[in-house]
Structure 1
Amino acid sequence: MGTYYVVKLYSAHELDTAALQQQIDTELELVNDLMSTYRPESELMRFNRFDSGKAFPLSEQTRVVVAEALRLAEQTNGVLDVTVGPLVELWGFGAHGRIEHAPDQADIDNARSVVGYQKLTLSADGLTKSVPQLAVDLSTIAKGYGVDRVAEILEHNGIDNYLVEIGGEMRIKGNKPDSQPWKIAIEKPVNAERSVQRILQTGDMGVATSGDYRNYFEEGGIRYSHLIDPRSGQPIQHKTVSATVLHPSCMTADGYATALNVMPSEEAIAFANRYNIAALLVVKTEDGFTELASDAFKPFLTE
């Protein structure tokens, strides 16, 4: 997944931590082997090369992630679209590496012609694409799925007090050894330093944050974010710099956080309130940053 993982846990019974770590490493390697866009022979990349009109058989793990991605795509009216890969690559934020100049409109239009979750069909036989060049990128949701899988391993081993993090996405359950709840920090969205925007006590919850303040390039005074709006084929240009979502499933939180960061803030909060999503947006203003919270997030706001 191109990032780190951290597991913190507390257990009243003795654990074989070496065996537990081996289970976790094996599971995360499996997720990579199935869904990574950086491994040419992953299940996902083999599907992306698959140009037959027939269904491509999927593992149960990939099926779960694709099904949730398609559900979120439908709910967000295509704002979260896992077929956006060609546009991500075109803008220099994919496996092929960075670019120095923004693509021209003709290239954007060409990429958009092979983008669209509606061109995917998930059935009992597997995953089918109506356009041979269609490519799927699960990076907006698979990391959260990995967190959930690690959490399931811990619970299977009788561990009910833990914090799991993969590259900033988390699942939290129970308490620390001192019986105090886990606390997590939302990062202040600034480039020059790592500082805290807010401390949260979430209870048993998945937590995901999407931000555009570190992954971008600039050309001619214009800042191009890695977050691409599939509706325009362009990087987002609005003032939302991060979106944090709380949800029992980190996979679902991961997808929602990306979608809400792609939407302008007014649209994002209205969407979160419509579907009872606990979301916190950090929005850039002339004086710094302001926070916008959905109704479901407000109970978690404690000074």
Structure 2
Amino acid sequence: MSAFHTSGVTGSNAGRSRVVSLDPLRLRARRHHAHALHRGERIWREGMAPVDLWIELLHGNGFEPRAALAFSVTQDFEDDQFTLGKLPPDDIEKLYGLQVQELAVFDSLEERALVQTRRANIVLLETDAFFLPDTRADAYHREHARTTIGIDVIDPGARRLGYFHHTGYHLLDGADYDGILRPAATSAALFPHVEFVKHVRDALTGTPLAETSADLLCMHLLRRPLHNPISRWRQAFPAHVETMLERGEAYARHYAFNVMQQLGANFELLAHYLQWMREQGFDIPLSAHAGARKIASETMVLQCRLARALSRGREDLCDASFDLIEESYARVVPPLADIVC
């Protein structure tokens, strides 16, 4: 399934429209199978949404997304959260020949998005999960939450569109379509942030893809944190626990998402990346791969342990988990820098 090729457009429609009927849209959704990174056993079922979106977007267009995960070695502790993972646009262009550009929305969000999808580009739209059927388990028609989707097909006549989100490809229509592309106009309304992805050159494959990814890994390792971010988090953690006890469960959930989940999911991706690099023939130590997996799994243990303590109104500084995570980090990122760069 390639969103960068105009499939299903024939005859007089080929040069001016990319309207797709209901059945081809449904067939498109059925044909998309989640990438291996999103199947089977996962330590963190909920990963990093911006990265998960790109994994499926790249996979859905026949590209190897694991080559883009070198950036994960740069994650740092930002005093109250871990760096939110995002694929750098420069990496995406070097590996896959895709450019990410900002889209100016100067009159109609629907019209501007339609223009780009007719060009076989994907529109990255920051939107409200309230209107996304794939979020039925949490936000759909219940809560308003900001998220980003990748729209590749729009059928304005039928008020229907197809989109990448989180770990899959989905469809929406009707009132949800209006909520996404035809928001109510008010004098105070602001257009959301929108980008589009266009294919400007052929993607790399095989050895060139792996070698370019290795070059990116070296570049990102030069940007790694100067000090062990786990040690810095550990120093701040007692004050964080005190705040969670004071502010209650709702705040603790937000903390868990922005701290433990971001750290654990990032290093689970790094483990997959290092394994892929080993499969490409690079001499990546097994200890680095195992250390990244240990950070991912032990961070989950820490999260569960902390949740139990907070539910009982007790303080737990999770020293045993911190010992393992801190030591594991020292066996992953610094040694990789010594070997690769």
Q: How does the TM-score come out when normalised to structure 2? A: 0.24
Q: Which has the higher contact order (CA 8 A, sep 6+)?
A: 2
> Which protein is richer in helix relative to its size?
2
> Which protein is richer in strand relative to its size?
1
Q: How does the TM-score come out when normalised to structure 1? A: 0.26
